[in-house]
Amino acid sequence: MIPFNRPYFPGEEIDYLNQSISSGHVSGNGIFTKRCQEYFREKWGFRKCLLTTSCTDALEMCALLLNIKPGDEVIVPSYTFVSSALAFVREGAKIVFADSRADHPGVNEDALESLITQRTKAIVVVHYAGVACDMDKIMTIAERHGLAVVEDAAQAVDGYYKGRPLGGIGHLGCFSFHETKNIHCGEGGMLAINDEKYQERAEILWEKGTNRAQFFRGEINKYGWVDVGSSFLASDLNAAVLFAQLKNLEEIQNKRKSIWTAYQRNLPVLEKCGVGLPEIPAYATNNGHMFYLICDSLDQRSRLIQHLRERNIHSVFHYQALHRSPFYAPRHDERLLPEADRYTACLVRLPFYVDLEVEDVEKVSAEILRFFEV
Ligand SMILES: *Cc1c(COP(=O)(O)O)cnc(C)c1O
């Protein structure tokens, strides 16, 4: 069986886990948490980073930092993971769903402005497949209306927009280190706080509403409960596993990009039969997060997935547009989001993980070409 995903471990994590255990501090904000946060600051220039238990938690921190209250509106693409919207719904926000682009599952930047009302507080953008949204356009719109921009960069580590690292452009950026992402620690995430005005409070929310972090830095002589928050910080054991991935980032990324390039080399002929392939705009880069095809119908996609399954290849579809979800559809207005519907029905993701052998990429490609009879 060629699985869709297989979590990769470089090996050093065992040594780092031992170091974390013998340090006597395995809870949050220990040595490996600091090393990971420092790595992100140095490599990508993020001002302040906080390691969290998941990207979902980092998004929940954003909702608190932005003071989202019942009645506020937040614009979120419909074609995304539940968490991009859920984090704001928990604070009472009304979600206004945006459609995707015709050439890419990312948000249609040109459709955003018409969704803004007096109640809009924030725009959440998702860099789908690690491919940047047009951030200049988005930041200009946000600035014009005084809105905050949250980048859901869950899939976008080591992805860039006009040379700038994703997650570092909006006011806040959220990363995931779930086992299905480029680098992982089982479950994990990170909040990048790019706008200085949120930095101090973010640290407090992270530590259950206390000023404990300031206390441990010796800035205050006792700590207490000063704000809302939760236990958003990740165990140092998770950080130890993540640090091993960061140490091997280049190797991981080179391998992932070579898999992406191999699919890209094998499959362009599919465009002749109307199948869509990933598009990378000139302002974006490819971070080797995933490779997908866009079939011409739900039926064709189902048959392709079945064809591959019968040959022991596991391919998977992706999001179910959130505006149609049983939870949110009753609250969504009448607007149609045809592109989000199309990706829901037609997008299929191919096996993609660091240990995927070149021969397996060839085998998957050959089976796809056989299905389409090209
Ligand atoms: C994976 C993912 C998430 C959720 O990440 P967790 O770390 O599992 O909470 C959120 N948004 C997007 C776009 C994702 O791909």
C-beta separation of 290 from 352 below 8 A: yes
What does the DSSP 8-state code read for residue 273? G
Q: How far, in Å, are 234, 266, 285, 374 from residue 279 at the CA level?
A: 35, 15, 10, 21
Tally: H helices and E strands in the chain: 12, 12
- Cα(153) to centroid(ligand 1), Å: 8
- Cα(177) to centroid(ligand 1), Å: 8
Per-residue pLDDT of the chain (374 residues; tens, 9 = 90+): 999 999 999 999 999 999 999 999 999 999 999 999 999 999 999 999 999 999 999 999 999 999 999 999 999 999 999 999 999 999 999 999 999 999 999 999 999 999 999 999 999 999 999 999 999 999 999 999 999 999 999 999 999 999 999 999 999 999 999 999 999 999 999 999 999 999 999 999 999 999 998 998 899 999 999 999 999 999 999 999 999 999 999 999 999 999 999 999 999 999 999 999 999 999 999 999 999 999 999 999 999 999 999 999 999 999 999 999 999 999 999 999 999 999 999 999 999 999 999 999 999 999 999 999 98
Give the closest residue to 216 by CA, choosing from 55, 27, 17. Answer: 27
State which ligand 1 atom lies nearest to the alpha carbon of 180. Answer: 1
CA atoms lying within 13 Å on the CB side of residue 259:
26
C-beta separation of 283 from 162 below 8 A: yes
Q: How far apart are CA 42 and CA 261, in angstroms?
A: 28
State which ligand 1 atom lies nearest to the alpha carbon of 83. Answer: 10
In short, whether 100's Cβ falls inside 6 Å of ligand 1 is no
- Cα(86) to centroid(ligand 1), Å: 11
In short, whether 52's Cβ falls inside 6 Å of ligand 1 is no
- Cα(333) to centroid(ligand 1), Å: 25
The residue whose CA has the least distance to atom 14 of ligand 1 is 154
Output the pLDDT for position 296. 96
Q: Which residues pair with 149 in a beta bridge?
A: 123
The tokens describing 3, both together, are: 């699985």
Output the pLDDT for position 216. 87
- Cα(221) to centroid(ligand 1), Å: 38
Give the closest residue to 89 by CA, choosing from 62, 49, 112. Answer: 62
Q: What is the best residue among 5, 50, 56 to mutate for testing ligand 1's pocket, by most ligand atoms within 8 Å of CB?
A: 56
CA atoms lying within 13 Å on the CB side of residue 79:
26
Q: What is the best residue among 125, 157, 172, 178 to mutate for testing ligand 1's pocket, by most ligand atoms within 8 Å of CB?
A: 178
Q: Interior CA angle at 176 toward 175 and 177, to 5°?
A: 125
What does the DSSP 8-state code read for residue 271? G
Q: How far apart are CA 18 and CA 28, in angstroms?
A: 16
- How far out from the chain centre does Cα 173 lie? 9
- Cα(152) to centroid(ligand 1), Å: 8
In short, whether 63's Cβ falls inside 6 Å of ligand 1 is no
Q: How far apart are CA 254 and CA 316, in angstroms?
A: 24
In short, whether 56's Cβ falls inside 6 Å of ligand 1 is yes
Output the pLDDT for position 150. 99
Q: Fill in the amino acid letter for 89.
A: V
Q: How far apart are CA 112 and CA 93, in angstroms?
A: 17
In short, whether 53's Cβ falls inside 6 Å of ligand 1 is no
Q: What is the best residue among 60, 82, 128, 176 to mutate for testing ligand 1's pocket, by most ligand atoms within 8 Å of CB?
A: 176
